[in-house]
């Protein structure tokens, strides 16, 4: 199989990308961010969008993968549907408005299934699933229906507030509408399929990250930031614990590298957290690896791996020429002075962040995963401009330190879990599409 980006032209592009990141300040805006006013008309939303701020904050951001405990029909994770326009319908058999919307769902998907559109029904995890087979049979549902994971993980990830709730996701996996009325879904999809200007995403740019996402904030050490914005060097690994990573395992992928020291409790705790993050993002192609301090004993590291059930590959760093005061040769090359320290590398092999706080790693990965291939062409254009400026000012000194720019608003954190409660009959008139039933967090026992 041919590998992408092979040849002198792509090598030149990636090298120049690294140069731009080192020479000029990255633009600190979320990739694909867009204001609420730049999406669909407010009357297309339930309650005209009033009180839906948390829900609509998902718009313009990468759609999170859904967590499904059981499928009726063909299993359809979002990753397998990339390139299609996707409609998610969060529903339940106990919800009157949900049931009333099913005929429209069927009519809609029959019309658009051959036009690159997919519809998925995600059923409430708490109750009603035992009636699903009967509903599917009686209503004639042919689109895939999935039971939300035991704790309602999908509902939490999508900030669900009521039933039904519809989401529209574009071909690039970006949420374009959250809380759309059932009778406006077709118009929303038509708008995306037709490429209407009202829904055109903003120009993709290289994104940097707010200081508060990092250990030390704006006071983090110059050494740890000295290589940020540059391509990471190649390393020789002394030994591995677990699976050995080959070059083909990480090329053209977002990577997370964490430096660890098994003798330190904070380092062990962060490694355990990284294992949890890897379980969420590995299926999206993100590669995770830990690097063990060269001064640490391998058997001690192996004990931690067994005790904490770590599946992330562990690379044993080589001793540094600097001696006992250094964590290892790889750490020296990347300006790392202590463990734990977490780094993030983009698909082009450029180090984008060093010293990331565990609580913000999800936000950062979502942002980098949203960066698409066309960004390389933008980088080439910007590289030409940089080279022209350098030619015009040959004596000008290049400052490789990133400028201070206004931090971007980060992607919202995962919403707090909804309070569980016994299922009740859905309130509201089933025929009213704009009067949805409340989510389980608002149902009372």
Residue 350 has pLDDT above 90, yes or no: no
Place of tokens 């992330």: 312
pLDDT of 39: 64
Give, in order, the Cα–Cα distances in Å from 323 to each of 116, 329, 331: 59, 10, 12
8 Å CB contact between 168 and 59: no
Nearest to 408 by CA among 25, 12, 146: 25
Residue 394: pLDDT band with limits 50, 70, 90: very low
The second-level CATH assignment, the architecture, of 39-203+416-438 is 3-Layer(aba) Sandwich (3.40)
Structure confidence by residue, pLDDT tens digits, 196-236: 434 444 433 445 688 888 888 877 777 667 778 788 877 77
pLDDT of 143: 97
Residue 169 has pLDDT above 50, yes or no: yes
Task: Give the residue extent of every domain in the chain.
Answer: 39-203+416-438, 210-379
pLDDT of 244: 85
Residue 372: pLDDT band with limits 50, 70, 90: low
Please, how many CA atoms are within 13 Å of residue 392, restricted to the half-sphere of its CB? 6
210-379 belongs to CATH 3.40.30.10: yes
d(CA 76, CA 349): 31
Residue 419 or 343, more confident: 343
d(CA 312, CA 275): 7
pLDDT of 153: 93
pLDDT of 200: 41
| Per-range mean pLDDT, top range of 33-42, 182-191, 246-255, 425-434 | 182-191
Percent of the chain with pLDDT over 90: 42
pLDDT of 366: 85
Nearest to 271 by CA among 334, 314, 318, 221: 314
pLDDT of 54: 83
Phi-psi region of 135 (alpha: psi -120 to 50; beta: other; left: phi over 0): alpha
**Rounded to the nearest 5°, which phi and psi values hold at 429?**
-80, 120
Q: Token pair for residue 401?
A: 């330190």
pLDDT of 234: 76
pLDDT of 326: 86
Cα separation of the two ends of the chain = 57
């Amino acid at each position: 199989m041919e590998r992408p980006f092979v040849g002198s032209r792509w090598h030149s592009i990636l090298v120049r990308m690294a140069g731009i990141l080192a020479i000029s300040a990255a633009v600190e805006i979320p990739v694909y961010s867009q204001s609420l006013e730049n999406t669909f008309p407010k009357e297309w939303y339930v309650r005209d969008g009033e009180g839906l701020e948390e829900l609509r904050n998902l718009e313009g951001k990468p759609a999170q993968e859904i967590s499904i405990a059981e499928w009726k029909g063909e299993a359809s994770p979002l990753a397998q549907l990339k390139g299609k326009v996707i409609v998610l319908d969060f529903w339940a058999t106990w919800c009157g408005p949900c049931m009333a919307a099913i005929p429209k769902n069927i009519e809609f998907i029959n019309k658009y299934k051959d036009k690159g559109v997919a519809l998925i029904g995600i059923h409430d995890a708490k109750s009603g699933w035992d009636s699903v087979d009967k509903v599917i049979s009686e209503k004639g549902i042919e689109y895939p229906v999935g039971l939300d994971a035991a704790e309602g993980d999908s509902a939490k990830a999508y900030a669900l507030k009521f039933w039904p709730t519809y989401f529209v996701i574009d071909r690039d996996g970006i949420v374009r509408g959250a809380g759309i009325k059932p009778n406006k879904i077709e118009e929303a999809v038509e708008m995306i399929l037709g490429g209407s200007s009202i829904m055109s995403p903003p120009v993709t740019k290289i994104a940097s990250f707010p200081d508060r996402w990092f250990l030390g904030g704006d006071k983090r050490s110059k050494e740890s930031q000295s290589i940020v914005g540059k391509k990471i060097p190649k390393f020789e690994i002394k030994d591995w614990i677990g699976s050995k990573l080959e070059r083909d395992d990480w090329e053209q992928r977002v990577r997370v590298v964490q430096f660890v020291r098994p003798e330190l409790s904070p380092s062990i705790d962060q490694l355990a957290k990284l294992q949890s993050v890897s379980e969420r993002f590995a299926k999206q192609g993100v590669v995770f690896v830990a690097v063990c301090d060269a001064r640490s004993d391998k058997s001690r590291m192996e004990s931690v791996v067994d005790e904490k059930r770590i599946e992330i590959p562990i690379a044993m760093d080589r001793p540094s020429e600097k001696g006992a005061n250094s964590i290892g040769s790889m750490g020296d090359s990347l300006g790392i002075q202590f463990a734990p320290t977490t780094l993030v590398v983009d698909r082009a092999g450029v180090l984008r962040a060093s010293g990331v706080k565990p609580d913000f790693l999800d936000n950062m990965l979502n942002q980098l995963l949203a960066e698409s291939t066309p960004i390389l062409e933008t980088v080439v254009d910007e590289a030409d401009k940089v080279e022209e400026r350098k030619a015009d000012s040959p004596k000008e000194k290049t400052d490789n330190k990133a400028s201070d720019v206004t931090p971007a608003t980060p992607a919202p954190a995962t919403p707090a879990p909804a309070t569980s409660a016994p299922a009740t009959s859905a309130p509201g008139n089933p025929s009213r599409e704009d009067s949805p039933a409340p989510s389980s967090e608002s149902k009372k026992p």
